[in-house]
Amino acid sequence: MMHRLLLVSVLAVLATVLAPADASAQYFGRNKVQYRAFDFQIISTEHFDVYFYEEEREAALDAARMAERAYARLSRLLQHEFKEKKPIILYASHAEFQQTNTYPYAIEEGMGAFAEAQKGRVVIPFIGSYAEFDHVLRHELVHAFQYDIMFKNAALDNVNPFSISLPLWFIEGMAEYLSIGHIDAITAAWLRDAVLSGYFRTIGEMNRRNDYLSYRFGQALWAYIGSKWGDEVIGLLLNRATRVGLSRAFETTLGVSLAELSQEWATAVAAPICRRSPSSTGPRPSHGPCCATRNPSRAPATFPRPSRRTEASSPFSPSTRGSTSISGSWTRGRASSRNA
């Protein structure tokens, strides 16, 4: 059984991703501290309303251009257009982002940005370099497309959009791949270590596990799919998966089962790593990796991860609580339907 989606995405580092499910209870009854009032103005582009305040004006103009550039690419790859403009709310710093009233709960240090489902908003601070901001913005805009497609298809099929179930590797891996465009150095390092140490995962295992590795391995799997079938199939897969489920979507679009895809992907990932690692001479399990002993549970806690500013994580949620949430982060197991 795949996980149900929680319809908000939140940038978070692993520490946040692994936060206890009831962590939100810690914030119950607390008021969010707002140190200042923000006098928002709007830059209206073809597909977005970009909210900013005066001190961000110059950067906001750049952000608006970045958003439209991302839209052009994503709408082509995902074969989808917004019917109405989506709000993008910009904050000048993470400290000011933490004061946002678009999100009703406390924003921890590790949360870098988020996208909402129902209001279709992306809320994001300027932190790090422009390149990092561009990546995070693109990542959240992928979620905006995912939400929009999911809601459209749910309406077509007359079903509750919150009943649509897709695993984290599918959603977040897609956001990472489409926002980065390839396998970056951090994901490559994770893949290499996973193959050599034995915790590389099959798709079946990824369907059952939702953690930081779902981002990294999911990105790698989408990169493999894009390189073999072309990035345009990503939109087909997303569309079909929201209507007929993951397995049928892959079978009807790529002509392979998830198990077959998993096998060939693992082999493709492992082969060059094993060739460059003469010390890895152990027996090779059928799933590909060259490690002698396979243990999908083993993953180092201290392996390199992006900082909050570059981490594009976040949380369509594996809710097992019967939640129909449209807001909140799965890092907190939010099970409400509140949305700011």
**Is 123 a binder of Zn ion (CB under 5 A)?**
no
Neighbour count for residue 289 (Cβ, 10 Å):
26
Neighbour count for residue 12 (Cβ, 10 Å):
27
Question: Shortest gap between Cβ of 4 and Zn ion (angstroms)?
Answer: 16
Distance in Å from the first CA to the final CA of the chain: 30
Neighbour count for residue 111 (Cβ, 10 Å):
26
Question: Shortest gap between Cβ of 74 and Zn ion (angstroms)?
Answer: 14
d(CA 264, CA 9): 30
**Is 175 a binder of Zn ion (CB under 5 A)?**
yes
Residues 6+ apart with CB under 8 A from 6: 315, 316, 317, 319, 323, 325, 326, 328, 329, 330, 334
- Give burial (CB, 10 Å; 0-12/13-18/19+) of 281: exposed
Site string for Zn ion, 5-44 (x = CB under 5 A): ----x-----------------------------------
Residue of 146, 165, 219, 314 interacting with Zn ion (CB under 5 A) = 314
Question: Shortest gap between Cβ of 314 and Zn ion (angstroms)?
Answer: 3
Question: Shortest gap between Cβ of 313 and Zn ion (angstroms)?
Answer: 6
> Applying CB under 5 A, which part among 4-12, 149-157, 265-273, 288-296 lies near Zn ion?
4-12
**Is 113 a binder of Zn ion (CB under 5 A)?**
no
Residues paired with 49 in a beta bridge: 44, 87
In the complex with Zn ion, which residue's Cβ is closer, 5 or 246?
Answer: 5
Question: Shortest gap between Cβ of 142 and Zn ion (angstroms)?
Answer: 7
In the complex with Zn ion, which residue's Cβ is closer, 239 or 314?
Answer: 314
In the complex with Zn ion, which residue's Cβ is closer, 91 or 330?
Answer: 330
In the complex with Zn ion, which residue's Cβ is closer, 9 or 153?
Answer: 9
Give me the long-range contacts of 206-209 (CB less than 8 A, separation at least 24).
206/167, 206/168, 206/169, 207/2, 207/167, 207/169, 207/246, 207/258, 209/296
Binding site for Zn ion (CB under 5 A): 9, 172, 175, 314
